[in-house]
Structure 1
């Protein structure tokens, strides 16, 4: 398996878990995502984009990274182009770091939707901000090693059929979930979290890092 970390322009905090997830991966930065290279102590092998959001005062080692330059008026986002570059280099697994938040909610939505399409084509995808992470859910059964009390939601991108959730404060047993329903929001891990799905498109959104006190 060849894992690439894609540095995107959304929110990112460094955590021990994130350090483990990106350790030993190949790295490609998408435009402003180069700023996260400093945060994580990573050196990308490629920097992709139209370079309209380059952080100021980049250190010389990051400024010298090979670039793949695209025009500002194009049919794909910088993030999608960076992912395409990783796939061309043989990526079978992706860590999308900085996939959430930031100034562009449209880009964040694209990362969620694109992760589902990639997963359906056989690419493992993890979306992360350090504080929260997303994992596409395909039909079948999957288990997740989160600590008790971890907050999670299942985001539906279509009607869901035969959804079963065990190892949770509020389990579900082979239920139907209408697209746009809030039934699967704000649950908590209680034991070994396992999720089964007969059909539909969904994404597990978990908060493995403690949330700040409000």
Structure 2
């Protein structure tokens, strides 16, 4: 259910899903190579991108949302399907986290998010045993990782991007849970039925996601690729 006051952005094939749910996007963005329905009518709500570009369509959507003041992002239909797209989408959650924002990827009965130099606090819940919460270091090193209120407790642990020591933990019935990192970026996956966590950070962040990439990349041009006809 999309809240009535949400700023909705449909990224490429996401327009098919928005139409199916009878949701009218505030902005439609993409090169529209994956849409199966009717292409959007060019108007002030449509941002058509070139096929060859550096930014994936989701990043373009996040940049538009950021420009409109969003710092909390819920992304639907971004898990499953092509594995390269899934990895890309997870990396984009880390990008948001590194700028002091938070994004949640929803799909396949799971949610994926990222947190940088901060904490995720889950309210007490009744998630069934066997539904896992897992934590991974996206940065080369993550210092001071803590997990509390879960089946397996971690306290001030060092995680690295090549050491798996936070996979397959579980919520405990009726207890709140906490995942935090003093310095570094964590990827956190948890069941869709778990409560969304309260997010807090240890410091302020600077910068933004950068301008919208609507031009053919110079790197692609140098490689000999030519723009497609609009």
User: Is 2:174 aligned against 1:174?
Assistant: no
> Contact 1:152–1:187 (CA<8 Å) still a contact in 2?
yes
2:63 aligns to what?
84
Q: Which has the higher helix share?
A: 1
| Gap regions ≥5 residues in structure 2 | 195-230
- Partner of 1:154, secondary structure, is strand
- CA distance in 2: counterparts of 1:91 and 1:208, whole angstroms: 22
The number of residues matched between the two structures is 185
RMSD of the alignment, in Å?
Answer: 2.2
1:10 aligns to what?
none
User: Is 2:85 aligned against 1:118?
Assistant: no
User: Is 2:145 aligned against 1:163?
Assistant: yes
Map 1:19-58 onto structure 2 (within 5 A): 19=1, 22-24=2-4, 25-56=6-37, 58=38
- CA distance in 2: counterparts of 1:99 and 1:116, whole angstroms: 14
> Contact 1:130–1:209 (CA<8 Å) still a contact in 2?
no
**Correspondent of 2:191 among 195, 201, 207:** 207
TM-score, structure 2 length as denominator? Answer: 0.72
**Deviation, structure 1 residue 100:** 1.3
> Contact 1:161–1:200 (CA<8 Å) still a contact in 2?
yes
Q: Highest Rg: 1 or 2?
A: 2
- CA distance in 1: counterparts of 2:107 and 2:20, whole angstroms: 12
Q: Which has the higher strand share?
A: 1
- CA distance in 2: counterparts of 1:140 and 1:74, whole angstroms: 32
**Deviation, structure 1 residue 168:** 0.7
- CA distance in 2: counterparts of 1:196 and 1:82, whole angstroms: 28
**Deviation, structure 1 residue 130:** 6.1
TM-score, structure 1 length as denominator? Answer: 0.77
**Deviation, structure 1 residue 40:** 3.8
Map 1:1-150 onto structure 2 (within 5 A): 19=1, 22-24=2-4, 25-56=6-37, 58=38, 63-64=40-41, 66-103=45-82, 105-129=83-107, 131-145=109-123, 146-149=125-128, 150=131
- CA distance in 2: counterparts of 1:99 and 1:80, whole angstroms: 12
